Amino acid sequence: MTIGFHAVTFTLADPPRAGTLLVWSPDGDAPPDGPGDAVRVTLATPPAGHPAPVPARRMSVAAGVPLLLAGQATDPAAAFWAAAAREALHLAARGLLLPAVTPAGYDTWQVGPLTADDEARQARLAAAMPATARATPVPGRTPPWLPDPTRLLRDFLDAVADTLPRDDAAGGAWSALPPTPVGRLRDWAARVAADADAAVRLSLRLEHRDTTDEPWRLVAQVHRRATPGLLTDTAALWGAPVPGFPPWSRDATLLALRHAARVWPPLARLLDTAVPDALTLTDAQVVELATGEAARLGVDGVDVHWPAGIDRGLTASAVLRAPARRAGGAGLLAEPGELALHWRLDLHGTPLTPAELARLADAHRPVVRLRERWVLVPAELARRAREPRAGSLAAMPALRAALTGATYVDGERVDVHAEGWLAEAARRLTDGDAMPPVDVPAALAATLRDYQRHGLRWLAGLTALGLGGCLADDMGLGKTVTLIALHLHRQGDPATAGATLVLCPASLLGNWEREIRRFAPGTDVRRFHGPERTLDGLDDGFVLTTWATLRRDAARLAARRWALLVADEAQHVKNPHSDSPPGPLCAATPPGSPPDGGRCSSPTRPNTSRTRTRRPSRHYARSPPPPGSP
């Protein structure tokens, strides 16, 4: 079963694990098949919100939570309860469960004790609860009154918490699924909750002493949950009584330390000492804290406080250094070899100087003096200072990295800064107005509309970079004349002049020939089609061929130098790597064509306006996707 477009409403019960989830359709449709029972319930349904009987599927919290977490809920109410289920699991994973007794005297589990961050997060979640998520009217209220969202969210969190620790095979209170009467233990449960709310929270303070052989010292300190500002070192708790900390604070501190040691094992050494006050850390352990372990402890509620004099602002990114452009107007893809990728180390966004990099590379400790401060240097960053070469990228992956601002080095995602002509290419591709202006060719016997002039400028800019374009205007808007204008424009530069190969269905050969003779009079045009087809004497102009001919004569076409390739009806390009007619399209290009030869695709069917459908066409054309497209 999938929830899909159905709404979900939670109804509470005593005990909370007996609460149910109602899956129903705001349109009144029948509920989906699945676990639970098909019922009719009274809900405040949209748009008027008046109570009305609605068909629904009622299921237990245990059965409903996995469906909510399946990631297929699209209705706002279902999406809300899916977020609430994730919140409940997050609390349970942190061990925030307390035994309690329900008003009816049954055993139950509740979430808690909660931190201020937990309560703030849940308040934001409750504020986002849609009306359909709490569509069960409160009994006896006129006009209809819906449950309070904050209370209902907490009831749901408790219902999930009351479900998780139980097992069908278990017996006894707080373990078995059936309700167990435990009214006599109500006072005990209240004391447990009070003690939990008054418990301590652990934090760690890192101290650095540069005058000793053991410069790193990690000091344990505790806070009262009820009074977060009340703080003391754990050493003080093992001495004279500390105001504000009751006698049980020692036991609570040991429990907190034991829990934190499961997250970061070096803390277990504190449990082996008579007074769990402080640890001496190695350089490697400090680096562990700096590169992830402190964050993991923080998620578990244990904050790590760094010395005020230690700066952790050192970061690494990669720089793509493009060589000088070759003369002759060659495009981006014509640049020889690969582009070097080098590490760049920054301190709070400012690149390190060569002298600072040398000091970093020579360091053998995780702390280095830079810019009048002590800077924490993880071992990996020191290695990158010693070995600045991060690898290399071919032209297209380099362009992709420049456009997205990121790439992967040894499986790690790193930020990328492009330099030189590569940065200029990325700027042009991300800002259409940055493309160089293009005059309409004098040899074009037509007047281009504004959108056609814009398309010509865009295609000319792309092909000048060695890329291609996907001209996806609707039928009848003049794509053919725009591509003819592009051919004529490229004839003005000896580096890009030459013949243009047009691939199209056989039914369009005549249309292309008529359009070329009409709008580019004097331009040579021939058909490479039929038994008498030949490429002899070809220097420039247009060559028209079909997809079927391409498949049969891929080798002959590949032996020629093509300045521009145009794929009309490019929706035929479903997979450029297959053996179907579009397959030889890419194979027919590289051997005899300059690497900067332009490619343009022109899909004409209406459904090709979708970017997913155009992906194979863009793959052929070496065209960057439109901004925001997949």
The torsion angles phi and psi of 74, rounded to 5 degrees, stand at -115, -20
Examine residue 243 and state whether it is found in any structural domain, yes or no. Answer: yes
Residues 189 and 202 occupy one common structural domain: no
pLDDT value of residue 80: 96
Examine residue 629 and state whether it is found in any structural domain, yes or no. Answer: no
pLDDT value of residue 612: 39
Chosen domain end from 162, 177, 193 = 193
C-alpha 119 chain-centroid distance = 27
pLDDT value of residue 605: 43
Tell me: the pLDDT tens digits for 63-83? 999 999 987 778 999 999 999
Tell me: the pLDDT tens digits for 257-301? 998 999 999 999 999 999 999 999 988 888 888 878 988 998 888
CA 505/CA 508 separation, integer angstroms: 6
| E-only strand ranges, 180-299 | 200-208, 216-224, 231-233, 278-281
CA 245/CA 552 separation, integer angstroms: 87
Is residue 24 within 8 A of residue 57, CB to CB? The reply is: yes
Token pair 């009079």 in the structure block, residue: 521
Question: SS3 for 429-481, per residue?
Answer: HHCHHHCCCCCCCCCCCCCCCHHHHHHHHHHHHHHHCCCEEECCCCCCCCHHH
Q: Which domain holds residue 262?
A: 198-308
CA 490/CA 483 separation, integer angstroms: 11
Residues 443 and 535 occupy one common structural domain: yes
CA 461/CA 458 separation, integer angstroms: 5
pLDDT-derived band at 583, boundaries 50, 70, 90: very low
Examine residue 630 and state whether it is found in any structural domain, yes or no. Answer: no
pLDDT of residue 486 exceeding 60: yes
Examine residue 273 and state whether it is found in any structural domain, yes or no. Answer: yes
Residues 18 and 87 occupy one common structural domain: yes
For the record, the structure tokens of 87 come out as: 């919140």
CA 219/CA 232 separation, integer angstroms: 11
SS3 387: coil
Residues 445 and 299 occupy one common structural domain: no
In this predicted model, which residue has the larger pLDDT, 224 or 501?
Answer: 501
Q: How many domains would you assign to the chain?
A: 4
Residue 521: CATH number of its domain: 3.40.50.10810
What residues have CB less than 8 Å from 337, skipping those under 6 apart?
Answer: none
pLDDT-derived band at 174, boundaries 50, 70, 90: very high
Say how many Å lie between the first and final Cα of the chain, rounded. Answer: 29
For the record, the structure tokens of 381 come out as: 């960053």
Give strand pairing partners of 416: 318
Residues 405 and 453 occupy one common structural domain: no
The reported pTM is 0.50
Tell me: the pLDDT tens digits for 449-460? 998 998 899 888
Chosen domain end from 377, 405, 429 = 429
The torsion angles phi and psi of 229, rounded to 5 degrees, stand at -75, -10
Examine residue 2 and state whether it is found in any structural domain, yes or no. Answer: no
Tell me how far CA of residue 121 lies from CA of 69, 91, 113, 126, in angstroms. Answer: 19, 12, 14, 9
pLDDT value of residue 439: 92
Mean per-residue pLDDT of the chain: 82
Residues 73 and 184 occupy one common structural domain: yes
C-alpha 90 chain-centroid distance = 21
Tell me: the pLDDT tens digits for 225-242? 766 678 899 999 898 888
Dump the DSSP string for 210-238.
TTSS--EEEEEEEEESSSTT-EEEHHHHT
Examine residue 627 and state whether it is found in any structural domain, yes or no. Answer: no
Kindly state the DSSP code that residue 45 receives in the 8-state scheme.
Answer: -
For the record, the structure tokens of 268 come out as: 């277990």
Residues 298 and 234 occupy one common structural domain: yes
Dump the DSSP string for 549-605.
HHHHSHHHHHTS--SEEEEESGGG-S-TTSSSTTHHHHHTSTTTS-TT-EEEEE--S
Tell me: the pLDDT tens digits for 358-403? 888 887 777 788 888 888 887 788 888 889 898 888 888 888 898 8
CA 526/CA 533 separation, integer angstroms: 9
pLDDT of residue 585 exceeding 70: no
Examine residue 223 and state whether it is found in any structural domain, yes or no. Answer: yes
Give the rounded percent of residues in the chain with a pLDDT score beyond 90: 37
Residues 401 and 543 occupy one common structural domain: no
Residues 603 and 456 occupy one common structural domain: yes
pLDDT of residue 442 exceeding 60: yes
User: Of 220, 204, 414, nearest to 290 (Cα)?
Assistant: 204
